[in-house]
Structure formats: structure tokens, C-alpha cells
């Protein structure tokens, strides 16, 4: 496993340079991996893995947190249409409570990579950690969703899918406002926890939910 810091030329957003360097060494295809929901109080952590086609990269890819919902939704459809392979994996609140959030995230990352329909030769992962048991070498990129378009694409897929999951949960658990804060610890969410207590979709190992 390699870990690359955030001090580099990618001040204007992600590009294909990490992927191209690996492809030039014969290490392709390259998958990008990112998670969403690690810091939430409720709902799953969601991980996406994406393999982009070098000759058909969607325009406008960026860290999902920097995009409007409308822009993420539009890019989500473009990524689905253009990517060579996409997979998703989740870890539930119960798994997060049992394993801890770091281990649950690493588990979902490993599952997402193994679920790809194309076996990658190298994986680029957002953050500092790479899971064990991957089918190929991996590189951890700090702030990778602003450096690698493959990671950015994974970020957009994971964020869009997780938001949809939380909106769906809100239909049955309307007291908590999941459709608005998607599980993050907003003032509204904390107030609902104080009034109603946690539901089965909360992470009981997280302090505000105990």
C-alpha cells in the first residue's frame, strides 16, 4: 500500500494523471474508491468503486461535496453511462457499531472492489487507509476526491446513492428529518434525538446516540 499526501499540483480539481501514470506502467484498469457517510449519526456508510474509460472521461468531475445536488444527479447519470465498471457496498449501523466506523468502512471498500465486474490492476482510494484483501495493489490518496477523477466519480456515485437511501428511510422514520440532513449531526437531528431517542438506523456507538 502507498499513501500520497495532498501537496501536489491538483489545485484546480481532479485529473487523470494518477491513472495515466499507472496505465503507462501497464497497471490497468485502475479503479477509484471513495466512501460517504463516515461521520453521520444514522444510516449506512456507502462505498463506490468506479473504473473510468481513459478515452471517455465525463467532464466536470469533482469532489461530490463541492457539487450541488442537481449537478451530482446529472453527473451520476453520465458516470453510469460512460464508466467501464461501477460497484457499491454498504455497511449498516449495526455493522458499524460492531466493528467501529474505520473497520466498517474498510470492509465496504474491500467489498466494493471485489464486486467490480472488471478486476482492476490497481486501486486509488480516498484517504489514508487501504483495506487488506484487495485483488491488486492500492494507493491511498489524501484528499483524493479532489485529485483523481476516478475517485471523484466514486464520490459522486456513493453520495448520490446514500442520499437516496436516507430519503427512502425518511418515509418510515419521518420524525428525524433524514431527507434533509441525511444522517449528519445537525441541530435539527440532535433535537430529534433528544425528543424521540434513536431508531434502528442510528449508530448507537456514536456518542450523541448512546
The 10s digit of each residue's pLDDT in 56-73 is 999 999 888 889 999 999
* Domain of residue 30, CATH code: 3.30.420.10
**Whether the bond into 100 is cis, omega within 30 of 0:** no
Backbone angles phi, psi at 175, to 5 degrees: -65, -20
> Is residue 9's pLDDT more than 90?
no
Q: Which helix (H) or strand (E) holds 69?
A: helix 69-82
Dihedral sign from CA coordinates of 22, 24, 27, 32: positive
Q: What's the pLDDT at 29?
A: 98
DSSP string, 3-53: EE-S-SS-TT--BSHHHHHHHHTT--SEEEEEEE-TT-SBS-EEEEEEE--
Is 15 in contact with 54 (CB distance < 8 Å)? no
Q: What share of the chain is helix, strand, coil (3-state, %, to 5)?
A: 45, 20, 40
pTM of the predicted structure, to 2 decimals: 0.94
Q: Identify the residue with better confidence: 8 or 89.
A: 89
> Is residue 11's pLDDT more than 90?
no
Backbone angles phi, psi at 53, to 5 degrees: -90, 130
Distance (Å, whole) CA 126 – CA 196: 35
> Is residue 129's pLDDT more than 60?
yes
Domain membership of residue 104 as a residue range: 2-209
Total domain count, the chain? 1
Is 177 in contact with 68 (CB distance < 8 Å)? no
Q: In which band, very low, low, confident or very high, does the pLDDT at 110 lie, cut at 50, 70 and 90?
A: very high
Amino acid at each position: 500500500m502507498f499513501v500520497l499526501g495532498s501537496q501536489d499540483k491538483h489545485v484546480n480539481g481532479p485529473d487523470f494523471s494518477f491513472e495515466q501514470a499507472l496505465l503507462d506502467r501497464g497497471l490497468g484498469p485502475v479503479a477509484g474508491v471513495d466512501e460517504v457517510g463516515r461521520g453521520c449519526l444514522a444510516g449506512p456508510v456507502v462505498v463506490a468503486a468506479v473504473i473510468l474509460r481513459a478515452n471517455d472521461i465525463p467532464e466536470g468531475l469533482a469532489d461530490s461535496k463541492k457539487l450541488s445536488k442537481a449537478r451530482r444527479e446529472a453527473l451520476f447519470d453520465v458516470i453510469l453511462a460512460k464508466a467501464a465498471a461501477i460497484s457499491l457496498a454498504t455497511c449498516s449501523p449495526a455493522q458499524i457499531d460492531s466493528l467501529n466506523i474505520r473497520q466498517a468502512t474498510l470492509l465496504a471498500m474491500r467489498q466494493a472492489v471485489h464486486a467490480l465486474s472488471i478486476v482492476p490492476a490497481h486501486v486509488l482510494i480516498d484517504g489514508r487507509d487501504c483495506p487488506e484483501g484487495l485483488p491488486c495493489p492500492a494507493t491511498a490518496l489524501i484528499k483524493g476526491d479532489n485529485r483523481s477523477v476516478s475517485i471523484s466519480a466514486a464520490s459522486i456515485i456513493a453520495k448520490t446513492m446514500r442520499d437516496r437511501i436516507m430519503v427512502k428511510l425518511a418515509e418510515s422514520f419521518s420524525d428525524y428529518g433524514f431527507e434533509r440532513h441525511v444522517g449528519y449531526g445537525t441541530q435539527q437531528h440532535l433535537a430529534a434525538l433528544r425528543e424521540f431517542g434513536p431508531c434502528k438506523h442510528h449508530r448507537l456507538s456514536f456518542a450523541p446516540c448512546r
